[in-house]
Amino acid sequence: MASLWVVVAAALLVLGCASSGATARPLVGAAAAKQPLQTSRPYNIAHRGSNGELPEETAAAYMRAVDEGADFIEADIVATKDGHLVCFHDVTLDDTTDVADHKEFAARRRTLQVQWANVTGYFITDFTLAELKTLRVKQRWSFRDKSHDGTRTLIPLLFW
């Protein structure tokens, strides 16, 4: 019986390899023209809002991105110490808020291992939503417009 299966398998292999003219052939003419992967215009996705001129992850940055034609807003979400969700990109508050100016939070600066690297700063997970609301956001990079620094807060996500 085992030899019958070997014969059948061999026959199927031979039949499968034999061409009956139905093999794939190269496309010619118009069919050979390259087709784009996407036929509509590319999506405009605003990462952290319009963060070039307004502090990132703020309502103003999101609204500006929409005004500028963004199809989607890509927001980063982080949980606070008391379980609230806020729109924030980093694990620390140092680069984009005035946390270092708040003496009441000075003892919270610490070093943790994040993705196999030691990171020192004020970690957002060490703050409650009420505490975060006392902070003001600022531009991350010195070459960006600083006129909006200190005028906005982080965005809490409200769920009902």
Q: How far apart are the first and last CA of the chain?
A: 68
CATH superfamily of this structure's domain 45-156 = Phosphatidylinositol (PI) phosphodiesterase (3.20.20.190)
Which are the catalytic amino acids? 47, 89
Give pLDDT tens digits for 22-81: 566 666 666 567 776 767 788 888 888 887 777 878 888 888 899 999 999 888 888 999
At 159, the pLDDT band (50, 70, 90 cuts) reads very low
Q: What is the Cα–Cα distance from 43 to 28, expressed in whole angstroms? A: 32
What pLDDT, on a 0 to 100 scale, did the predictor assign at position 160? 34
DSSP state of 107: G
- pLDDT at site 148: 74
Predicted confidence band of residue 153 (pLDDT cuts 50, 70, 90): confident
What is the rounded distance in angstroms from the CA atom of residue 5 to the CA atom of residue 15? Answer: 15
Residue 149's pLDDT band, with cuts at 50, 70 and 90, is: confident
pLDDT digits (tens, 9 = 90+) for 72-117: 988 888 899 999 998 888 889 998 899 999 999 999 999 999 999 9
The alpha carbons of the chain give a radius of gyration, in whole angstroms, of 29
Structural contact between residues 46 and 70, judged by C-beta atoms closer than 8 angstroms: yes
